[in-house]
């Protein structure tokens, strides 16, 4: 896949910058989380039998290295498992690896490359046809025009492959443009225009999809 070539170039670019990073200490962070959730019938208070119940385990570990002012990279691995009592078709193990490399081109332009690889396995054998592998490549270009206006361009490509159902494979692309406008010390506006499209093989059992979105947000300090 072409995303593997991009990932190799990204790792090579990061490795060539490690000499510059000697004056910055690397950071390692992580988390271990366990929990559960109980689903019950809201209309029957006398019946204590739950509709469903699941428990989950989630762990992640992250290594972050600063290379220079405004330049850094990180590598993150994550594992998450969900087990249901009733809806066993959702029992799954999710493994993810994420890489991020951010750097400045100049005092106004900032680049960010992000790669995500996911392997999701459904634990019940009769549902293993839903197992899939996903790879996502995202590029972000940030431009700070001045203290009032800033812009952001996001380009994203995603590949999804099903191990036992190749006719369900698809690719998804996204382009988005963000615009930030600081009207005053107390008022900020943020807008976003986004377009997504999903394309499948000619023999795919999935339909092609196109989506558009526009949003406007504001923040005002009282």
Domains of the chain, by residue range, sit at 52-220
pLDDT of 135: 97
What CATH number matches the domain at 52-220, 1.20.120.330, 2.30.30.280, 2.40.160.10, 3.40.30.10?
2.40.160.10
pLDDT of 206: 78
Rounded to 5°, the CA angle 61-63-69 comes to 145
Interatomic CA distance for residues 139 and 194, integer angstroms = 14
pLDDT in tens, the chain (222 residues): 444 555 555 555 555 555 555 678 999 999 999 999 988 777 665 656 678 898 999 999 999 999 988 899 999 999 999 999 988 899 999 999 999 999 999 989 999 999 999 999 999 999 999 999 999 999 999 999 998 999 999 999 999 999 888 888 999 999 999 999 999 989 999 999 999 999 987 677 778 999 999 999 999 998
pLDDT of 14: 54
Interatomic CA distance for residues 213 and 147, integer angstroms = 27
- How many residues are there in the chain? 222
CB 72 within 8 A of CB 63: no
Contacts of 18 (CB under 8 A, 6+ apart): 65, 67
In 40-148, at which residue ranges do the beta strands (DSSP E only) sit? Answer: 52-68, 71-84, 92-104, 109-122, 132-144
Q: Three-state DSSP class for 26?
A: coil
pLDDT of 45: 56
């Amino acid at each position: 896949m072409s995303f593997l070539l991009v990932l190799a170039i990204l790792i090579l670019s990061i490795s060539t910058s490690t000499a510059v990073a000697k004056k910055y200490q690397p950071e390692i962070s992580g988390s271990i989380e366990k929990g559960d959730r109980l689903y019950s019938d809201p209309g029957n208070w006398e019946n204590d039998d739950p509709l469903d119940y699941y428990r989950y385990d989630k762990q992640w570990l992250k290594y972050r290295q600063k290379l220079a002012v405004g330049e850094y990279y990180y590598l993150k691995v994550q594992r998450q498992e969900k087990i249901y009592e009733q809806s066993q078709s959702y029992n799954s193990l999710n493994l993810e690896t994420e890489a991020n490399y951010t750097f400045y081109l100049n005092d106004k332009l900032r680049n960010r490359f992000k790669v995500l690889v996911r392997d999701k396995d459904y634990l019940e054998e009769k549902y293993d046809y839903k197992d899939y592998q996903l790879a996502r490549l995202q590029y972000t270009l940030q431009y700070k025009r001045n203290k009032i206006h800033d812009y952001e361009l996001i380009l994203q490509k995603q590949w999804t492959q099903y191990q036992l159902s190749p006719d369900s494979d698809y690719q998804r692309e996204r382009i988005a443009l963000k615009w930030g406008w600081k009207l005053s010390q107390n008022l900020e506006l943020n807008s976003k225009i986004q377009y997504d499209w999903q394309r499948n093989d000619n023999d795919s059992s999935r339909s092609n999809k196109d989506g558009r979105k526009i949003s406007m947000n504001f923040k005002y300090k009282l």
